Amino acid sequence: MIINVTRIFVDVDSGNEMKEDRETGEKSDQGSLLVETIPFTLRTTCIRSLILPFKSDESEQPEKKQDRYELALKIRNSDHPDLSKEEIKLLKERIAKAWPGAGVSGQAASFFDEDVAASIMKKKAEKK
């Protein structure tokens, strides 16, 4: 299923796009790290949910951790990665753990569901 990971989250209260501050890796003249404000995207939530450690990950086999790492790279390297049903399920579960509030995890689930539905419709149309 093709998923658009560039989708931007919207604050439920204000209706404004959500933003986040990210270090640029550069330093100011005073030596502090410079920060830029960027949109908070589905890509960000996916990658962070895959690499953040959860208590349940402590007993996880190394292969599973490597699989999550490789999935994070796949998402980082494409604006529209082709994800399996299992990968989408894993992402929904991990995003819900990382962001237990409905504002982010609910929107993420909706983003996935909308893109999955669009992928299914596209495949049906191609068969005709």
Q: Which residues does residue 35 pair with via DSSP β-bridges, in sequence order?
A: 23
More confident residue, 122 or 39: 39
Is the Cβ–Cβ distance between 94 and 53 less than 8 Å?
no
Tell me: pLDDT of 3 over 90: yes
Note the pLDDT of residue 24.
86
Q: Is 97 exposed, middle or buried (0-12, 13-18, 19+ CB in 10 A)?
A: middle
pTM of the predicted model as reported, rounded to 2 decimal places = 0.86
More confident residue, 42 or 24: 42
- Predicted confidence (pLDDT) per residue in 57-111, tens digit: 989 999 999 999 999 999 999 999 999 999 999 999 999 999 998 899 999 999 9
Which tokens is 10 given? 């919207």
Q: How many CB atoms within 10 Å of residue 101? A: 9
Choose the weakest-confidence range: 29-43, 50-64, 77-91, 107-121. 107-121
Counting residues of the chain whose pLDDT is more than 90, the rounded percentage is 72
C-alpha pair distances (Å), 38 with each of 23, 63, 81: 10, 33, 21
**DSSP letters along the chain, please?**
-B--TTPBPB-TTT-PBPEEEEEEEEE-TTSPEEEEEEE-BHHHHHHHHHHS--GGGTT--HHHHHHHHHHHHHHHT-SS-B--HHHHHHHHHHHHHH--SHHHHHHHHHHHHHHHHHHHHHHHHHH-
